[in-house]
Structure 1
Amino acid sequence: MTILALEIGPAGFAVTRVADDVDPDEVRRIPIPSGGAWAACRDLLLECAEGTEVTAVGIGSMGPVDMAAGVVAPTQIPEWRAGFALVDAVQKIFPIALVQLALDGVCLALAERNFGATSAVSDSLSVVVSDRIAAGVMVGGFVVVGRTGNAGHFGHVLVPGFDDLCECGGRGCLEAVASGASILRWANSQGWVGNSVEALVGAAQAGDEIAVSALNRAGTALGRAIASVASLLDIDLVAVGGTVAKSGPALWKPLAASVATHARLGFLTALRVVPSELDLLGVLAGAGLLAMMAQEAAAQVAD
């Protein structure tokens, strides 16, 4: 009996077998190809299954998603933008498996609540800031899914003071300002030469003014968006992870200052923003948990 977890993220496809936890040494990853995305994803799933009987698959995908229809439509995969029936496709290669799909942010929130930084509270926001921005919300101890499964699209919260064009077609979205790709694009437009967040962080630490400004800009936007969502949902803890979150004080200091400036209502005085405890495995761990929960629920119904 094998349970698989699949993550569809901006960095590529990631698959692992699910046990009590997700071991980073056991995760298999490939970049998303320019064509034949499903064929590459299918091969990775079959490789990880290694001919065993797969009984459940949990999928955490960047959105938009349609949970009821089992369809994903991520803008970062052009051939899937109009909608790809991912659940049906996975079901065809693992006919007896229970296949569960959720937004990557929902999976992240599940993982943080069960294994990570938000386990001690009932109301929280879990955020991953990498090449894009994903998030999941817990309210009253339950993850918020929404009507179509897209609750938690934190990257498309509008940030006051910014007018950057977003990939979604709007302007001023958090993702257009604070995602890794957006930070680099802005820094390059200002004359900084480099092609990675890691290099930008190093340049900021060395005192490069453009690099410092790029991370300050991103941290400020993140703080404003966090304060807004915290005010809306009355949450008291935010966990932030992802590659950009590893930027250190150049990002976290303006983030904290921005939260302090804008989270002013009395019920927000206890609001804390902390690093994720799951490093880069949050979405995959949550997808695995999704699969295990589905299998346990099916077993209870059978009994």
Structure 2
Amino acid sequence: MPHRAAAPLALAVDIGGTKMAAGLVDADGTMLAADRIPTPRPLLGPDAGEQVWAGLSAMLDGLLDRTGGRPIAGVGTSTAGPFDLAGATVSPVNIAAWRGFPLVDRLAAQVPGVPVRLAGDGVCAAIGEHWRGAGRGHDDLLVLVVSTGVGGGLVHGGRPFTGASGNAGHVGHMVVDLGGDECPCGGRGCVEAIASGPSMVRYARREGWSPTGDGTARDLADVARAGDPVAVAAFTRAADALAAGIVSAAAMCDLNQVVIGGGVANAADLLFPPLKEALARFGRLGFLQDIDVRPAHLGGNAGLIGAAALIHSPDPYWPSHP
């Protein structure tokens, strides 16, 4: 019998402000191996960007040793934004050491001879949830990733809507409070400045919360479940900001399906009840009154699965512009 070639894998990469992850993903979306590291945070200096890359590169080398001899079809990359899709560089708000970093070129050098495709983390999460998660069967979809930042991605007519630069869907940087807190992007009053994990923690500390643990959003969720009024207020405030962003996006794009993932969304028991109340309060027009919000099914792997789809299912998921 003729020898049957081993089915190729996608090397999926997911870059965020808190962690960097990578995985080997089969053509049906099955994750065969994965690894993650905390995002390196070197002191800013001339080699800071290279130090961040070195951590990612070492993790990828380890994964490439675990392919079992199966070929790599390509590298799909999900990244926090903003980024320059045409120039193939990234400048994530929450990775200060990377400004105009040539990520696509570095990945192409590490895995030569295969395509390297790049999309925003919110877009990849949206693709992942549409392809294999909570958004299956819904071709007009908004996906939010609520974590260190607030990312977003849109699927319209079954295809990701990325915009001219690839940055469409950045609901986290919609302004929802004209006199609000400063955002890591440099603006004020963005959804991210209120609803991200670090923003919630900053608000709670300002209001008098004194954490006994590490002071993370997870600690804040624990005391909110115990009834701490400041912690509960932080989640309610975040839910209001998310609802304002969602209703604004729905008013612009005429969609009614929303999926929320990311680390903060793991506290769905705290976030979703006030979020649904705020959606009803803000969405008064008829077509805004039936917005269905559900938790992500793929958890922290949504971005990796979506990045893999850029390789395994480039049509309809690969953006049509360069």
Do structure 1's residue 256 and structure 2's residue 276 form an aligned pair? yes
Q: Deviations over 1:184-231 (max 9, x none)?
A: 111111121221222211211111111111111111111111111111
Question: Structure 1, unaligned stretches of length 5 or more?
Answer: 299-303
* Paired letter, 2:232: V
Matches within 5 A, 1:53-68: 53-68=71-86
State the 1:160 CA deviation: 3.7
* SS of equivalent to 2:153: strand
**Matches of 1:243 and 1:137, distance apart in 2:** 20
The corresponding residue for 1:210 is 230
Change in Cα spacing, 1:162 to 1:138, as seen in structure 2 (3 Å) is farther
Runs of 4+ in 1 over 2 A off after TM superposition: 20-23, 51-55, 293-298
**Matches of 1:92 and 1:294, distance apart in 2:** 21
Change in Cα spacing, 1:290 to 1:262, as seen in structure 2 (3 Å) is same
The corresponding residue for 1:246 is 266
The corresponding residue for 1:231 is 251
State the 1:287 CA deviation: 0.4
State the 1:96 CA deviation: 0.5
Which moves more between the two structures, 83-92 or 260-269? Answer: 260-269
The corresponding residue for 2:23 is 16
Question: Structure 2, unaligned stretches of length 5 or more?
Answer: 1-7, 43-47
Do structure 1's residue 79 and structure 2's residue 86 form an aligned pair? no
The corresponding residue for 2:310 is 290
Identity %: 39
The corresponding residue for 1:137 is 154
When you count helix as a share of all residues, which structure comes out higher? 1
**Matches of 1:72 and 1:297, distance apart in 2:** 20
On the 8 A contact 1:100/1:294 being kept in 2, the answer is no
Q: Deviations over 1:90-132 (max 9, x none)?
A: 1112211110011111111111111111112221101110111
Backbone CA RMSD of aligned residues: 2.0
**Matches of 2:274 and 2:179, distance apart in 1:** 15
Change in Cα spacing, 1:293 to 1:264, as seen in structure 2 (3 Å) is same
The corresponding residue for 2:52 is 37
**Matches of 2:230 and 2:179, distance apart in 1:** 17
* Structure-2-length-normalised TM-score: 0.87
Number of aligned residue pairs: 296
State the 1:297 CA deviation: 11
